[in-house]
């Protein structure tokens, strides 16, 4: 009981010190929320109003209907009508148009002839992965709707063959926010917890108060727990705040157990606080600590699967991703929240995250006892 009281007193002292730093308080409350909103608006919104240039060499009723259907989609906006291929190429090369559609002169005749399919060319700007991967399917979907409108009523129900009905599981509307925001939330939680923990001991070094803490009656374990728990608490509260923004601001469902999600988030925060504590113990100034946090965050962002899927990485990076707490938590966040997974389905990631938390905190404790005390 006495040890718990001493740990609580030291943790309370840390919280009071944090409260006095008004800039840091604003950073902890406003910055993560603002970052989530801004990143989500710019990276997770999917295709919207992509500028399209249409070269209509047919000038028929069906070609005009197709152009109107393209323009009526949320993803595309027909803004340019070049008169030849050179003008179309110039629009795409300059970046004014990201999608080009070429309707050949015989499109109307081939469309209604039925003997051979009508030809249509789509030119997609591949410098943007999102545009390159999804622009074609959007155009294909529009063309399919136009074809169905004209020919579906005439198709006999006695025709054989296979008709495929596709359903998108877990994300029926292919909403990119449902994919990007949970990963962004995990990364912001990682940033906040790491920064708070990385500046805890090194701030005492700069202020010259670390020696005073060391000579107090606090034992080594009490000292490191008293410094770490405020960072853990702030990290969890920050995660809950961002989850509220995700759920109520972007209406992303939580299909699995919220309690299980919170437990995994707590283990993740504890692991990251261990990383931050290790940085704080080994560095000599807050500037060094923040620089280390920046470099580590860039590395974690690269191997976590936030930018590209783990499966698409080289084998060496795939191996490094297995020791990334951020990678495992991103997978857990999506699995529990979007797919409704339970512990039996996610135990490899949960076990890896727990092992990482134990190992990194053990290393931080070892470094603390050798370097500080």
DSSP code of residue 122: E
Residue 170: inside a domain: no
Q: What is the pLDDT of residue 130?
A: 64
The last residue of one of the domains, among 95, 121, 154, is 154
Residues 83 and 150 in one domain: yes
Residue 166: inside a domain: no
Q: Which residues contact 65 (CB under 8 A, 6 or more apart)?
A: 146
Residue 169: inside a domain: no
Residues 101 and 20 in one domain: no
Residues 296 and 181 in one domain: yes
Q: What is the pLDDT of residue 155?
A: 47
Structure tokens at 41: 């608006």
Q: What total of structural domains would you count in the chain?
A: 2
Residues 34 and 94 in one domain: no
Interatomic CA distance for residues 51 and 95, integer angstroms: 9
Residue 263: inside a domain: yes
Residues 220 and 142 in one domain: no
Q: What is the DSSP string of 45-80?
A: S---SEEEEEEESS--HHHHHHHHHHHTSSSEEEEE
Residues 193 and 336 in one domain: yes
Residues 214 and 301 in one domain: yes
Residue 8: inside a domain: yes
- The CATH number for 57's domain is 3.40.1710.10
Residue 168: inside a domain: no
Residues 220 and 365 in one domain: yes
Q: Residue 50 forms beta bridges with which residues?
A: 76
Q: What is the pLDDT of residue 106?
A: 84
Count Cβ atoms below 10 Å from residue 130 Cβ, excluding itself: 13
Q: Residue 51 forms beta bridges with which residues?
A: 77
Residues 224 and 139 in one domain: no
Residues 362 and 239 in one domain: yes
Q: What is the pLDDT of residue 369?
A: 83
The last residue of one of the domains, among 154, 186, 206, is 154
Residues 79 and 117 in one domain: yes
Residues 91 and 235 in one domain: no
Residue 211: inside a domain: yes
Residue 167: inside a domain: no
DSSP code of residue 115: S
Give the residue ranges of the chain where pLDDT is below 70. 1-32, 34-47, 114-116, 126-133, 152-169, 172-174, 208-218, 372-373
**Structural domain of residue 363, as residue ranges?**
2-43+175-371
Contacts of 233-236 with CB under 8 Å at 24 or more apart are 233/11, 233/15, 234/18, 234/28, 234/192, 234/193, 234/196, 235/189, 235/192, 235/193, 235/196, 235/269, 235/272, 235/273, 236/262, 236/265, 236/266, 236/269
Count Cβ atoms below 10 Å from residue 299 Cβ, excluding itself: 13
């Amino acid at each position: 009981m006495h040890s718990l009281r001493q740990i609580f007193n030291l943790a309370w002292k840390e919280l009071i010190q944090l409260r006095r730093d008004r800039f840091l308080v604003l950073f902890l409350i406003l910055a993560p929320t603002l970052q989530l909103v801004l990143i989500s608006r710019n990276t997770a919104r999917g295709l919207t109003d992509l500028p399209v240039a249409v070269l209509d060499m047919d000038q028929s009723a069906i070609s005009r209907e197709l152009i109107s259907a393209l323009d009526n989609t949320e993803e595309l906006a027909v803004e340019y009508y070049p008169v030849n291929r050179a003008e179309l190429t110039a629009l795409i090369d300059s970046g004014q148009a990201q999608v080009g559609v070429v309707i050949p002169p015989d499109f109307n005749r081939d469309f209604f002839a039925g003997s051979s399919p009508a030809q249509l060319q789509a030119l997609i700007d591949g410098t943007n992965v999102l545009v390159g991967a999804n622009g074609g399917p959007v155009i294909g979907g529009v063309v399919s709707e136009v074809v169905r409108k004209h020919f579906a009523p005439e198709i006999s129900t006695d025709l054989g063959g296979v008709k495929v009905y596709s359903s998108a599981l877990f994300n029926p509307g292919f909403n990119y926010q449902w994919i990007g925001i949970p990963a962004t939330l995990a990364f912001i939680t990682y940033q906040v917890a790491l920064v708070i923990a990385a500046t805890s001991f090194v701030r005492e070094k700069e202020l010259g108060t670390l020696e005073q803490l060391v000579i107090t009656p606090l034992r080594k374990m009490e000292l490191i727990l008293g410094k770490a728990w405020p960072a853990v608490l702030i990290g969890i509260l920050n995660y809950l705040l961002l989850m509220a923004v995700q759920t109520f601001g972007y209406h992303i469902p939580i299909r699995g157990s919220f309690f299980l999600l919170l437990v995994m988030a707590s283990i993740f925060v504890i692991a990251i606080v261990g990383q931050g504590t290790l940085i704080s113990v080994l560095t000599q100034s807050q500037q060094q600590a923040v620089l280390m946090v920046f470099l580590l965050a860039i590395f974690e962002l690269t191997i976590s699967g936030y930018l590209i899927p783990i499966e698409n990485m080289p084998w060496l990076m795939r191996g490094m991703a297995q020791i990334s707490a951020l990678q495992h938590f991103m997978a857990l966040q999506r699995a529990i929240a979007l797919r409704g997974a339970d512990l039996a389905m996610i135990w490899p990631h949960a076990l890896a995250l727990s092992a990482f938390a134990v190992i990194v905190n053990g290393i931080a404790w070892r470094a603390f006892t050798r370097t500080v005390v």
